């Protein structure tokens, strides 16, 4: 087992929050806001999956997330391809933060966390989604939007899919 350097070279606790965020929902925002007090630097990493057709472009997703956290210097938004643990190492993250909505999410995240820790020593922190957001997923938001439904209640306050 490898051990992680949980503190970066500047003495900061750095976390990586990976996902496709297509779109970024109130559930995602809640995870970030609840995790922020634990870290000095929080990197939201938008994963690029070449095999998947995106609803929003990378630039739109990045702009949406940056608008939610504007004014908070602890939050950075990046995009990446490849393995999450590789980008975590590149940015000096000692932690990966993940949200868990369902028991299936927990089982998947547990296996990934074990592999990531074994490969790199990077710890994964799982935060349970608040009950009021547990039914929200990016895929449901995309589907509702596709059929003309108002999805604003599922998105962070002040964001609007049409603006992106």
What is the average pLDDT across 15-36?
A: 97
Residue pointed to by tokens 């929902």 = 25
Return the CATH number of the domain spanning residue range 14-153: 3.40.50.620
How far from chain centre, in Å, is Cα 11?
23
Q: Binning pLDDT at 50, 70 and 90, where does residue 41 land?
A: very high
3-state secondary structure of 65: helix
In whole angstroms, what is the distance from residue 27 CA to residue 144 CA?
Answer: 16
Q: In this model, does residue 4 exceed pLDDT 60?
A: no
Answer yes or no: are the C-beta atoms of 98 and 127 closer than 8 Å: yes
Per-residue pLDDT, 164: 58
From 12, 52, 111, 146, active-site residue: 52
Q: Binning pLDDT at 50, 70 and 90, where does residue 1 land?
A: very low
From 101, 134, 137, 142, active-site residue: 101
Residues 6+ apart with CB under 8 A from 61: 21, 22, 23, 24, 46, 54, 164
Other Cβ atoms within 10 Å of 123 Cβ, number: 17
Question: Is 111 known to be catalytic?
Answer: no
Residue pointed to by tokens 């933060």 = 97
Question: Is 28 known to be catalytic?
Answer: yes
In the chain, what percentage of residues exceed pLDDT 70?
Answer: 95
From 61, 62, 89, 138, active-site residue: 138
Answer yes or no: are the C-beta atoms of 36 and 129 closer than 8 Å: no
Q: Is the peptide bond before 23 cis (omega within 30 degrees of 0)?
A: yes
Tens digits of residue pLDDT in 130-148: 999 999 999 999 999 999 9
Phi and psi based region of residue 153 (left: phi greater than 0; alpha: psi -120 to 50; beta: remaining): alpha
Residue pointed to by tokens 């995602």 = 28
Question: Is 52 known to be catalytic?
Answer: yes
Report pTM: 0.91
In whole angstroms, what is the distance from residue 61 CA to residue 78 CA?
Answer: 10
Tens digits of residue pLDDT in 47-98: 987 777 899 999 999 999 999 999 999 999 999 999 999 999 999 999 999 9
Name the nearest CA neighbour of 5 among 84, 111, 123, 118. 123
Q: Binning pLDDT at 50, 70 and 90, where does residue 21 land?
A: very high
In the chain, what percentage of residues exceed pLDDT 90?
Answer: 80
Q: In this model, does residue 105 exceed pLDDT 90?
A: no
Domain ranges in the chain are: 14-153
């Amino acid at each position: 087992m490898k051990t992680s350097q949980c503190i970066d070279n500047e003495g900061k606790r750095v976390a990586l929050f990976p996902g496709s965020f297509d779109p970024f929902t109130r559930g995602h925002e809640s995870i970030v806001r609840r995790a922020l007090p634990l870290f000095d630097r929080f990197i939201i990493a938008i994963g690029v999956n070449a095999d998947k057709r995106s609803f929003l472009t990378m630039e739109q997703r990045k702009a949406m997330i940056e608008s939610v956290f504007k004014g908070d210097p602890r939050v950075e938004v990046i995009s990446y391809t490849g393995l999450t643990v590789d980008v975590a190492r590149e940015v000096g993250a000692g932690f990966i933060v993940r949200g868990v909505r369902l028991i299936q999410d927990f089982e998947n995240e547990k296996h990934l966390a074990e592999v990531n820790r074994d490969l790199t020593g990077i710890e994964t922190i799982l935060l349970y989604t608040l009950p009021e957001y547990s039914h929200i997923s990016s895929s449901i938001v995309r589907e509702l939007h596709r059929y003309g439904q108002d999805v604003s209640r599922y998105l962070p306050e002040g964001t609007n899919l049409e603006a992106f």
